[in-house]
Copies of this chain bind each other. A is one copy, B any other.
Amino acid sequence: MRTDSLPTLDARKRPRQARSQATVDTIFEATIQVLLAEGLPRLTTIRVAERAGVSVGTLYQYYPQKQALLFAVLQRHLEQVARTVDEAALSMHGATLAQMVRTIVTAFVKIKTQNLAESRALYAVATELDSREYVQSIKQRNRAALEAMLRTASDARFADISTVTFMFAGVMIGPIQVLLEGEPTPEMLKLLPEQLVSVCLGYLEREALRPA
């Protein structure tokens, strides 16, 4: 598949005046709003500018390409996820498997479901954006945090820890994603954390080495 590598996705200009920082924020929020209200295919620079109440020219002053707009939104979301996982994982160093799983799952579910619509929309963004490299790096960062945590479990040790971590992470994401893509009932959302804990714990205990 042709994937002409794109120019930098980062924003062009770091604004110096307070006025323009406000503008940047407005545009950013407008992007999310358009994304949610109209969907990715109808997200055009003109529409975002209109919604933000600025001219296209202003938009391009801060986001030099349409893709930079989307990338910014994606970035904020993923950065948030990564930070949350990092912190949760770090706080559980030395705990038991059960404690670890419960904490991580809770944090993960919370951040993904609290802004449900945004999360949903961003899946589409990520695929359309040739941001694979960036998305992968975030996932990698998450896995590293989880792996470091698992190594310190007080009640378990693993033979192939990187595979175990990969599955652990994947298994958490799977049902959440499926849920996001559908129309989850509140009921389902309430059940989810407990179920995910069960899934993860079931797997990890199975893979843990028996103490001789």
Contacts and interface: CB of A to CB of B under 8 A. Distances in A.
Interface residues of A, number: 50
A163 B175 contact: no
Contact of A203 (B139, B188, B203): B203
A36 B1 contact: yes
Copies assembled: 4
B171 A175 contact: yes
Contacts of A205: 202
Contacts of A128: 40-41, 124, 127-128
Contact of A171 (B3, B36, B135, B171): B171
Nearest to A187: B163
Contact of A199 (B127, B176, B195, B202): B202
Interface of A: 1-3, 36-42, 117, 121, 123-124, 127-128, 130, 132, 135-136, 139, 163, 166-167, 169-179, 181-183, 188, 191, 195-196, 198-199, 201-203, 205-207
17 contacts: A1-B121, A2-B37, A41-B128, A127-B127, A135-B181, A136-B183, A139-B178, A163-B188, A167-B195, A167-B199, A170-B174, A170-B178, A170-B179, A171-B174, A174-B175, A198-B206, A202-B206
